[in-house]
Structure formats: C-alpha cells, structure tokens
Amino acid sequence: MREKTLICVVGPTAIGKTAVGVRLATHFDTVVLSADSRQLYREMNIGTAKPSKDELAAIQHYFIDSHSITDDYSAGDFERDALKQLEDLFSRHDIVVLVGGSGLFVNAVCQGLDDLPKPLAGVREQLNAAYRRRGLEYLQHLLKQVDPFYYSEVDIHNPQRVIRALEVYESTGVPFSHFRRKQVAKRPFKVLKIGLNMDRECLYQRINARVDAMMEAGLLEEVESLLPYRYKLPLQTVGYAELFDHLDGEYTLPQAVEKIKQHTRRYAKRQLTWFRKDAETKWFEPGDMVQIADYIASRVQPGNRI
C-alpha cells in the first residue's frame, strides 16, 4: 500500500493559508480538510474569512459550514469526526491537505487530545453564567489560582479554553494539566507540517487591511444578525466580541474596528508562539510555492509524487 500523507498548512491569521492550501490541493489533485474552530459554523461567514466561492468551487473543502452556531462542538468532537472523514478520504487519495490556524484542532488530528473525564452536569452552565456576569478576566484569575501550569501555556484570551479547563477542575478537583496527554496518539498516516510566516509588519498590514475589507463586506450586519446567540462561545472571539460591545454602547464603531485590528494582531502573535513550539514544522513564506511543493515531494513516497 502507498503511504498516506496529511499535509498540514498552519500559521497566523491573514497569512494566506487558504490560498496555499488550495494551490497544494490543486497540485496534488486532492482535497482540503479545514481545521478552523470557527469556519465550521454556517452563520459565521464574514468574520471568519472562509474560503471564497471560487476557492470552494475549485477544491472540495470539508468542515466548512458543516455545523450551526446552535451546536455545541468541541475539539474532541472534531478529532472524532475528522479522523472518520480522513479514513474515507485516504481510501481515494494518497495525500490530503489540512489547513487551519486553530492549534488545538490541528493537534487533535495529528496527535490526539487528552482523555478528559466527563464533566458534572451543570458545571459548564455555571461557568458560562459567571463569564457573562463577571467577564473573562475573572475566569482567568480562577484558572491561575487552581492550575498555574496550564494558565502559563494556554491562550488565556480564548474563553472556550479557559472555561474547559475550569470545567474539568470543578468536576474532578484535579487541575486540567494533570490530564494532559503524555504520548502522541498513533495515526495511520504520515504528517508533514508546513508553517507560513512573513515579516511582522507586513503581516500586521495584511491584518489591518482584512479587517477593513470585512467591515466593508458587512461584518457589522452579520454580528447584528447573531445577537440572539451572542453568548455562544464561538462568538466570544475576535471580530465578534468587539462589535457586540459596540452595539452595547461600550465603543464607537471606529473604536471597535481598531480593537478588532489590535486583538487580531495579538492573536496572530499567539498563534505563531503555539506553532513554533513544534520542531517538526518547516517554515516558508506564503509565496514560496515551488519550494513548498519540492519539500513535500521529497518526503512522500515516489508513487505519490506528481
């Protein structure tokens, strides 16, 4: 049997992962599996920078618009569903391209997640209520007290991650970090990780320009349409949370837009910190398509090359 290879394209937001993924999928005559924790929601379109209609028409994508914002969907759910999807895809393709900036979703597919205990009924609802009433900073303080080790490495600006860790602690009395996986799960496919990066100032200019383009495309109207679901955790993220605050009168619209740009730049920095921890990732600039394709071709079985 030919070796099966999952090519993972990772990196910070606005770096151009989608375009590179489409070009690789075209080059290797394959498909794209999205590992983005927000693009899977049908109702979140403009603020999540989904692939364009042309990109979706050119290459089959999976886990784009696959769920509703009303669904509770975790990284563990994604691990299960993505592995099942890959089993089917690898029956027809020797190479599949995975694209995503959500580090936890990428890790779920490539190395597996922790086998966490089942939370007690009602704990998640209590934490969500505390988040709405007292804000993320309060939950961050709680996490720092009960699990300083995990606090030091988690994206503390992501309410889903903070609440999940506290949910485990409140249910078991044991810090979340205690349950962290010691060994990487074995997968029936090879993983090649391609990291994308560029000059920091150039990336920040791309981020700012993309936020402006999102606003012109109707991001505010999209956020207004999602007001009934504003306390769903996927909407407590950059690009949505700031505009909800604007609608509450906390910021003027220009101030909210500037906040989105600022928070997106910080998020990109955290993404790079996460992905740089993986020594197996080979880094390129988004325009280095020839070098990227050559690197991949040199590491797959000869029968898999184009």
Confidence category of residue 285, pLDDT binned at 50, 70, 90 = very high
Could you give all domains of the chain from N- to C-terminal order, each with its CATH number? 5-113+182-304 (3.40.50.300), 123-179 (1.10.20.140)
pLDDT score of 301? 64
The mean per-residue pLDDT over the stretch 13-26 comes to 97
pLDDT in tens, 166-197: 999 999 998 988 887 666 789 999 999 999 99
The mean per-residue pLDDT over the stretch 91-97 comes to 96
pLDDT score of 302? 58
Start-to-end CA span in the chain (Å):
17
260 annotated ligand binder: no
d(CA 263, CA 243): 12
17 annotated ligand binder: yes
The mean per-residue pLDDT over the stretch 226-255 comes to 95
16 annotated ligand binder: yes
The mean per-residue pLDDT over the stretch 3-11 comes to 96
Percent of the chain clearing pLDDT 70 (strictly above): 97
279 annotated ligand binder: no
Confidence category of residue 305, pLDDT binned at 50, 70, 90 = very low
Q: Within its chain, how far is the Cα of 138 from the centroid?
A: 24
Confidence category of residue 223, pLDDT binned at 50, 70, 90 = very high
The mean per-residue pLDDT over the stretch 249-278 comes to 95
The mean per-residue pLDDT over the stretch 199-205 comes to 97
Whether 105 shows a pLDDT value over 90: the answer reads yes
Measured in degrees and rounded to the nearest 5, phi and psi for residue 282 equal -100, 125
Whether 48 shows a pLDDT value over 80: the answer reads yes
Say if residues 38 and 46 touch (Cβ distance below 8 Å). no
14 annotated ligand binder: yes
Least-confidence region, from 84-88, 171-175, 255-259: 171-175
47 annotated ligand binder: no
13 annotated ligand binder: yes
Say if residues 237 and 38 touch (Cβ distance below 8 Å). yes
pLDDT score of 306? 39
d(CA 27, CA 15): 20
State the alpha helices, DSSP H only, in the chain: 17-27, 53-58, 75-89, 103-110, 123-134, 136-146, 148-153, 159-172, 200-217, 219-225, 241-247, 253-276, 289-297
pLDDT score of 304? 47
pLDDT score of 19? 97
